[in-house]
Amino acid sequence: MEYITLGRTGLKVSVAGLGCGGFSRLGLGTGKSEAEAVALVRQALDLGVNMLDTAAVYGTESIVGEAIRAVPRENLVIATKAWIPRREGRSAARRAVQSLDHSLKQLGTDYIDIFQLHGVSPGAYGQARDIIAPALLKEREKGKFKFLGATETGSCDPEHEMVRLAVEDDLWDTVMVAFHMMHQNARSRVFPLTIANRVGTLLMFAVRNIFSKPERLATALHELSANGKLPRWLAETPNPLGFLIHEGGARTITEAAYRFVRHEPGVDVVLFGTGEPRHLRENIASILAPPLPPANRQTLAKLFGRLVGVGLDPPYSMPGRGSS
């Protein structure tokens, strides 16, 4: 495993971070048992992953808590999230503190390394900054968590407006950002700001459905070509991303997707989700693989560099499907 310092936090984190939500939810989303999910987290730890990212809404905090019970706490970096609907108004601060306390109990830990506000839309950012953050910082003084973070809404904020506000405010130690082969605008809109302000980045949407499900990619390419955003030949070719698979290149599209994001300047941790031990090992190996060949990166930039908001499909039960 490789490790990196996460922005100004000073935390030494694995470049591969186990995401405990998404469509798989450690396998719970595909019918696996809680015992199997616990075993999966422990396998990730055995492979050197020390960064675990969960959330109250995922329903996996107790799984993580069970998995880490026998692990020295100082060897782990635990991140979780609280989703506070915008309609909460002034009660949002109380709700956030209640969520923090509940997460501590579910995780079975005395402190959380990174406590994040989950799926903050641009319209809700003022509430997060002015109402919720001050209340949480008081809880931080009590030792309940170490660093404060915010995650964007992905599909509802493809231009990263919330993150661009957050990184300038000096409140947030980390941000979670969407970036992948067909949604590259964080390269110019986010990463120069996070680097300059030493804000740690947790990367989401590296793969999701658009690269793991060929039919989803095909549908997206046809829609984009019909709208004049991509050349028609790309939608009509049987294997549109086949140029990435070659000797010295990637073995699979999923591997290419992870390698593309992992070596982007400004990316600290690449989050991945899984419910299968084999898939777990493959994802980690892909994240640890070398950068894609320069020619392949240039082709990806030429074909997809101007696209915005493609492939940001959130799970139906997760924040991000609405703007509240």
Residues 168-227 pLDDT 10s:
999 999 999 999 999 999 999 999 999 999 999 999 999 988 998 889 999 999 999 999
Domain containing residue 207: 3-304
Beta bridge mates, 4: 13
Average pLDDT, the chain: 94
Domain of 197: which CATH number? Answer: 3.20.20.100
| Active-site residue set | 58
- Is 145 a member of any domain? yes
- Is 324 a member of any domain? no
- Is 147 a member of any domain? yes
C-alpha to C-alpha distance for 141 and 120, rounded to whole angstroms: 23
pLDDT at 209: 86
Structural domains counted in the chain: 1
- Is 140 a member of any domain? yes
- Is 318 a member of any domain? no
Beta bridge mates, 51: 17, 77
- Is 75 a member of any domain? yes
- Is 316 a member of any domain? no
The model's confidence at residue 318, banded by pLDDT at 50, 70 and 90, is: low
- Helices assigned H by DSSP within the chain: 34-46, 61-67, 92-107, 125-127, 133-141, 161-166, 186-189, 191-197, 208-212, 214-226, 232-236, 253-262, 277-288, 294-304
The predicted model gives 122-138 an average pLDDT of: 96
Q: Read off the DSSP letter of residue 66.
A: H
- Is 321 a member of any domain? no
What token pair was written down for 302? 């030429």
- Neighbouring C-beta atoms of residue 312, cutoff 10 Å: 22
